[in-house]
Chains A and B, each alone.
Chain A
Amino acid sequence: MEVLQLLISGLANGCVYGLVALGFVLIYKATEAVNFSQGDFMMLGAFVTLGFVNPEYMGLPFWVALPLVFIVMGTIGYLLDLIVLRAVFGQSQVAVIILTIAIGFVIRFVVGIIWGHEPQSLHSPLALGDFRMGELVLGLADVAVIVTTFVMTMLLWQFFQRTKIGLAMQAASQNQMAAYYMGIPVKRVQGMVWALGGIVAAVAGILYASKGSIDPTAGFIGIKAFAAAVIGGFGSLPGALAGGLIVGIIEPFAARYLPPGYSQIAPYALLIAVLLFRPHGLFAQVRTKKV
């Protein structure tokens, strides 16, 4: 029973990692850039929601606030691409890495200024109550997280596989020049994917905040999400989710069964092991390109 309980809490945590990882993969898939500030995006999304929903701020009903949050985060994502990232369009990945790390610092600072550095909890309808099944206790938040994540992943996956714009995003990432020739507005497509990344981050943030309190340093879970994304293979959406689940499930079990001190190493050790033996992740998408 204990194992099952650990498994479920791990699954719920893993889904949040998976959602943040999904944001990485989304942006990576469409722009070949890695957004090192995705964790901070998530934190920002949570705080924007908190600003709309919590009674001490605007006190809007949750379901009214939700679309507003998506609009705000989408706009922030789009503007960020428009103003900042478009300048390094086509430049080396190192520039983008450094740039997004810097953006993360700035986001953390701005959130700290607006909402303070104290941990706060979101008044979310998901945070209330839990199920009981025999000895098993299921938080409603945990169930909501797991369900939402699976639905999101499936939707985004199908979006990339089936819709015209999803295919355009894939094309734009694989060969920018060729995509231009095919009439794809590459820059606008990239802006859209950043907006989408912002929205996914907002979903992750809301779910994360529903599971507990949130403060401006919450963005550091982005690092665990990295581990998730890499374990899943950076280019694959279901892979990101699977990676997130693996990391999430390993954590509580490591904390339970390994001696103290070793448990927080576990996700990173796994990351390095995966990079050693399957450098492109468990669901590899890279094959040597023929010239």
Chain B
Amino acid sequence: MRFHFKTSYDDDIRLFIDGWKFSLYAALLVFMLALPWLIDDFYLGEANNVLIWSVCGLGLMLLTGQTGQASLGHSAFMALGCYSCVIMMESGVPFIIALPMAGVITGCFGALIAIPALKLHGVYLAIATLALAILADDIIVLLEPWTGGVAGKVPPDIEVFGLTINRWGNPTEWYYMTLIVVLVCTLFYRNLLRAPLGRSFAAVRDSEISAQAMGVNIARTKTIAFGLSCAITGLGGALMGLFAGAFNNETFNFLLSIQLLMMIVVGGLGFIHGAFLGAIVIAFLPQFLSIVSDTMGHGVAIPGLESAVFGVILIVFILFEPMGLYGRWLKIRTFLELFPFARKDMFKRQKSYLKTERLR
């Protein structure tokens, strides 16, 4: 157990609590940079997939984990990010501008959507965004001249500073590109949480009434949260579409956003680490299941098995480990650090009772 003797106010909001934490994350970064030499191209592609999922997860985490708003419509924003990025690339905008612009466009659109959605909370917001996700499919078909409709689109090769990046041609460069996006998003996210805005997100999540009493502008905070969340998810969606190599209206269907939500819950709601852990689970689960069913000797794909297994995992997590994988790790770590003084009740959920806003 290390004790932190705080000598200045900065100690509370420092990016890394101490040198040890810093060196841990530095080691992780070095490991990620060295990854292309450690594993072969297939697994590098998988690692890339994990990173792309975690970008999308970070986006939703900002909304659901930090601000407490459930969205089932983030697949629509992934689609928007992807289509806007590719359409810009096709019309000759360099990729290095097109990708951030895709994020900005998605973010602005998300904020625009959020303004009416603000009146809604909890269930209503979830349903409105679910409707949005379902509509996205039809809207993409209707906008066929731009989006290619059902036939879909094949994104052009990515060119950055004269370097052509192709998933099959040079996976290492692809991986580094994703890694840079992940790093930027994560640092942005982490710094946001230290800023007043991030604090007001948490305040809105924990109690809207108290946040309002403390002078947080709820409507503004939620709008910004929604916009930022959509922007990050849009970046992730753009990467996902480019990585897939071809996409159409069904690539980003509403099941994707449910998967995204499940991912961050399994990883751990409200933790940056949770987005990454959840991404690892969601990216490797299909492979794991196919390996298992191969060894069982069936060799026949059972329809719906993947989502059912994911559903069961999710139920188990919500019942027994609502803080997700990262929460479990926190408990283990606390147990080890405090040994033998850790108590069972340290993470116990407070009993809460529900009150409704309805009158009848």
Where the two chains meet, the residues of A that have a C-beta atom closer than 8 Å to any C-beta of B are: 28, 32, 34, 84, 87-88, 90-95, 97-99, 101-106, 108-110, 112-113, 117, 170, 173-177, 180, 216, 223, 226-227, 230, 234-235, 261-262, 264-265, 268-269, 271-272, 275-276, 279-280, 285-289
Contacts and interface: CB of A to CB of B under 8 A. Distances in A.
A106 B312 contact: yes
Contact of B258 (A84, A101, A106, A276): A101
B354 interface: yes
B308 A94 contact: no
B154 interface: no
24 contacts: A28-B123, A88-B322, A90-B353, A94-B64, A94-B68, A94-B70, A97-B70, A97-B123, A102-B262, A104-B311, A105-B308, A106-B308, A106-B312, A109-B307, A112-B304, A175-B355, A216-B304, A226-B130, A230-B124, A230-B127, A275-B116, A285-B360, A286-B357, A289-B357
A105 B310 contact: yes
Q: Which of A94, A95, A286, A289 has the most CB of B within 10 A?
A: A94
A84 B315 contact: yes
B352 A91 contact: yes
Given A102-B315, A272-B128, 20 more contacts: A34-B123, A92-B68, A94-B122, A94-B126, A97-B126, A98-B318, A99-B315, A101-B258, A106-B312, A108-B307, A108-B308, A112-B303, A174-B356, A227-B127, A230-B127, A265-B139, A276-B116, A287-B359, A288-B357, A289-B357
Interface string B84-127: 00000000000000000000000000000000110110111011
A216 B353 CA distance: 36
Contacts of A235: 358, 360
Interface of B: 64, 68, 70, 116-117, 119-120, 122-124, 126-128, 130-132, 134-135, 138-139, 141-142, 258, 261-262, 265, 302-305, 307-308, 310-312, 314-315, 318-319, 322, 349, 351-360
A110 B309 CA distance: 11
Contacts of A92: 68
Contacts of A99: 314-315, 318
Contacts, number: 154
A38 B322 CA distance: 23
A126 B132 CA distance: 36
Contact of A262 (B142, B265, B358): B142
Given A91-B352, A109-B311, A271 B138 contact: no
A216 B305 CA distance: 13
Interface of A is mostly: helix
Nearest to B125: A275
Name which of B64, B124, B132, B310 has the most chain A CB atoms within 10 A of its CB: B124
A102 B122 CA distance: 18
B354 A176 contact: yes
B70 A261 contact: no
A271 B354 contact: no
Contacts of A279: 119-120, 124
A28 B124 CA distance: 12
Contacts of A180: 353
A91 B117 CA distance: 23
Contacts of A265: 135, 138-139, 142
